[in-house]
Structures are given as structure tokens and as C-alpha cells.
């Protein structure tokens, strides 16, 4: 029950709920797949979340150009790492290979309205 009280505090609403239509458009822009590893909910059952390219703890905003889809594993493992730190860490830890520049480019693509 303590969890219920905690989740009802102001500002505890999920990012997806707060962004509404924008969150749905980000999912479409990112083809419903993790921007880092490519996992999808449909093929792998991965839970997808919105991930800040510039972490909120480093001043990142809740705007589409700073958000991409990430599976739970990638989002949790990344924590507050910068995108460059995450690229290096995920290459060693998970064998992922992605370009931070390409990920930022993906996030800057316009959203279909």
C-alpha cells in the first residue's frame, strides 16, 4: 500500500502519460524498437520506455528531440551515463554497436502528425 501512496504524489505520472500524443509519435518515429539494441515488444516481449539522450540529471528536457525508445535492459543499465559513455559501456557489456551521432539524428527526425 505504501507504493500506492508514493505513486499518487504530484509529478509521479509516467513520462509517456505526461507527453500523451508526443510519446505515441516517438514510438512510431523509432519504429517501436529500442534505439540501442533494436529489441521490440512484439518480437522479444521487451518493455519499451522513453529514454533521455541527455539525462534529466544533466539538464535534459522532456522534449521529443531528447527522447528515444529504449528497452528496460538498456534504459536501466544506462542510468545517468552520457550517450558517449553508454555507447562505450554497452559495447563491452552487451556487445552493442551504435553511433551516438546516429541516435541523436534519429531523435531529431520530425514526428508524423
Query: What single string gives the DSSP state of each residue in 52-101?
Result: ESS-GGGT--SSGGGEEEEEHHHHHHHTT--HHHHHHHHHHHT-----HH
Does any domain span residue 60? yes
Does any domain span residue 113? no
Do the beta carbons of residue 15 and residue 50 sit within 8 Å?
yes
Structural domain total, the chain = 1
Which tens digit of pLDDT belongs to each residue from 60-99? 999 999 999 999 999 999 999 999 999 999 999 999 999 9
Does any domain span residue 23? yes
Supply the mean pLDDT for the chain: 88
Does any domain span residue 40? yes
Residue 22 sits in a domain whose CATH number is 1.10.30
Q: How far is CA 46 from CA 10, 64, 100, 111, in A?
A: 28, 21, 22, 23
Does any domain span residue 7? no
Q: Give percent of the chain with pLDDT exceeding 90.
A: 72
pLDDT of residue 11: 58
pTM above 0.85, yes or no: no
Structural domain of 95: 15-108
Amino acid at each position: 500500500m505504501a507504493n500506492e501512496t508514493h505513486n499518487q504524489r504530484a509529478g509521479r505520472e509516467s513520462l509517456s502519460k505526461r507527453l500523451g500524443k508526443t510519446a505515441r509519435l516517438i514510438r512510431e518515429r523509432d519504429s517501436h524498437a529500442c534505439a540501442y539494441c533494436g529489441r521490440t515488444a512484439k518480437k522479444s516481449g521487451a518493455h519499451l520506455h522513453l529514454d533521455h539522450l541527455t539525462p534529466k540529471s544533466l539538464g535534459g528536457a522532456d522534449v521529443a528531440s531528447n527522447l528515444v525508445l529504449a528497452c528496460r535492459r538498456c534504459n536501466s543499465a544506462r542510468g545517468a551515463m552520457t550517450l558517449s559513455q553508454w555507447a562505450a559501456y554497452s559495447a563491452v557489456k552487451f556487445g552493442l554497436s551504435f553511433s551516438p551521432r546516429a541516435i541523436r539524428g534519429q531523435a531529431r527526425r520530425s514526428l508524423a502528425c
